[in-house]
Amino acid sequence: MKNHAPGADGRLQDDLLTLDNQVCFALYALNRAVTGRYRPLLAELDLTYPQYLVMLVMWEADGRGETPRVSEIGERLRLDSGTLTPLLRRLEQRGLITRRRSPEDERVVTVALAEAGAELHDRARKVPERLLCELGMDAAEAGQLRDDLRALLNRLEEST
């Protein structure tokens, strides 16, 4: 019935092949749980979670006087144009950002923070603090977890 002997090897692999033993499921479930905690906070700003991440990038860029390309936002967030193009279109329709083709290189679209987007920054300031409270974590604990996750992310991105 099976290719494996019922004993040693097969059983070990079956234990690995269990939902509760998957790192990835813990990651997947926690990510959705955390996103769910954001949702009501971001709903006050009328933003989805990925839109919020884009706005974080835009607020930072604007603070440095920059107007990043679509591809630069994508590198930052690890998202491609298939995801970003419609998302940015929605943010533009709401007047939070503007998009324009670069005159020097017509292939490039640069994204700039618009007036309403800058105003939204003020209203977003309390989100991180409120979220930590939602998560029941203090800043130190969150920082530690963030660093652990980042370290693994870096390792993954550096390897083939």
Partner DNA sequence: AGCAATTATATTGTGCACAATATTTTATCA
Partner DNA sequence: TGATAAAATATTGTGCACAATATAATTGCT
Taking CB under 8 A as the rule, does residue 93 contact a copy of itself? no
Cβ at position 35, least distance to DNA in Å: 6
Task: For the chain, state the CA radius of gyration.
Answer: 21
Instruction: Considering only residues 9 through 68, tell me which ones interact with a copy of itself, judged by CB under 8 A.
Output: 10, 13-14, 16-19, 21-35, 37-38, 49, 53, 56-57, 59-60
Q: Give, in order, the Cα–Cα distances in Å from 74 to each of 28, 83, 105, 116.
A: 21, 9, 18, 22
Cα 54 from Cα 131, distance rounded (Å): 18
84 binds, options DNA, a copy of itself, none, Cβ within 5 to 8 A by partner type: DNA
Q: Find the binder of DNA among 42, 61, 70, 114 (CB under 7 A).
A: 70
Among candidate residues 83, 62, 154, the one with its CA nearest the CA of residue 70: 83
Nearest to 99 by CA among 79, 81, 76: 81
Distance from C-alpha of 79 to C-alpha of 14, rounded to nearest angstrom: 34
Least distance from a copy of itself to the Cβ atom of residue 71, Å: 16
Q: Which residues are near a copy of itself by CB under 8 A? A: 2-4, 10, 13-14, 16-19, 21-35, 37-38, 49, 53, 56-57, 59-60, 76-78, 121-122, 124-129, 131, 135-137, 142-143, 145-146, 148-150, 152-153, 155-157, 159
